[in-house]
Amino acid sequence: MIRAIIIDDESNIRQLLSYFIEQECTDVDIIGEADSVASGISIIKETKPDLVFLDIRLPDGAGFDILTRIEKIDFNIIFITAYDEYAVRAFEYSAIDYILKPFDPVLLKRSIERATHIMKAELSLKMNTLLSNFNEKEDKKIVFSTSDHVYVIKVKDIICLESDQNYTTVNIDGNRKIVISKTLKEYESMLGDYNFLRVHRSHLINPSYIEGYEKAEGGTIIMKSGHRIPVSSRRKDVVLEYFENI
């Protein structure tokens, strides 16, 4: 049985989440609740849970304040948040599970399954990345996970991404490469905030690494790394518009 606690300042949210968990996740036992940073720290120390549902905004601070004041984070975490694009992006970049208010029982169950299978070392790495991504002064980072490794890469160091059906190859500055079992579409959504360009159904590029453009045969983008990226006819206008505006 997974021993869990809920830290959220809204009693109706705690009740609703408890109800969904009771109905959908019979292997999760809610052993306590808290409504603030202070009471959250106290109940974590008292109960030593396996899983914590943690609101990012609390009356006396942020959910992150709890994590920075706990000596050892040896429990898994699922963040609770109302829709906040900045927060959601930080979670997605860091590959940390979160659930949105109002709750979707199917997504809740999926988040619990993912969160409870994460290794402690991996959780620590992802949490450090998340805290870094909430710091506006630091370069944003993104977590890439393979079957046997977890990589933390600065977004600005990503040259381009190339899809091969359900896999994506991430090309990184310094002649590094990672193959991820996710589709390019997932990363297109994430990296759109950094002006990455979808120039082909199989290619997403970081415009900071563009060196030139060859017009022949439909168009090819030359990257500073030496990568030659084809431009599809459907995306040609987007590419030409980019070059007109630089």
Strands 76-82, 51-55: pairing is: parallel
Tell whether 208 and 95 lie within a shared domain.
no
10-residue mean pLDDT profile of the chain (246 residues): values are 95 94 91 96 95 94 89 88 78 88 88 82 84 84 89 96 93 95 90 90 95 85 95 86 76
Distance (Å, rounded) from C-alpha 212 to C-alpha 168? 24
Give the per-residue pLDDT at 144.
Answer: 93
Tell whether 128 and 169 lie within a shared domain.
no
Tell whether 129 and 146 lie within a shared domain.
no
Tell whether 6 and 123 lie within a shared domain.
yes
Tell whether 125 and 232 lie within a shared domain.
no
Domain final residue, candidates 86, 117, 133? 133
CA distances from 125 to 121, 148, 149 (A): 6, 14, 11
Distance (Å, rounded) from C-alpha 185 to C-alpha 183? 5
Tell whether 121 and 201 lie within a shared domain.
no
Tell whether 169 and 232 lie within a shared domain.
yes
Tell whether 24 and 127 lie within a shared domain.
yes
Split into its structural domains, the chain has a count of: 2
Tell whether 45 and 113 lie within a shared domain.
yes
Give the per-residue pLDDT at 241.
Answer: 82
Question: Residue 156 belongs to what domain range?
Answer: 141-245
Tell whether 55 and 146 lie within a shared domain.
no
Give the per-residue pLDDT at 160.
Answer: 98
Distance (Å, rounded) from C-alpha 77 to C-alpha 67? 10
Tell whether 191 and 70 lie within a shared domain.
no
Domain final residue, candidates 85, 102, 133? 133
Give the per-residue pLDDT at 246.
Answer: 67
Give the per-residue pLDDT at 79.
Answer: 93
β-bridge partners, 80: 55, 99
CATH of residue 112's domain is 3.40.50.2300
Tell whether 175 and 107 lie within a shared domain.
no
- pTM for this structure? 0.79
Contact 68, 41 (CB under 8 A): no
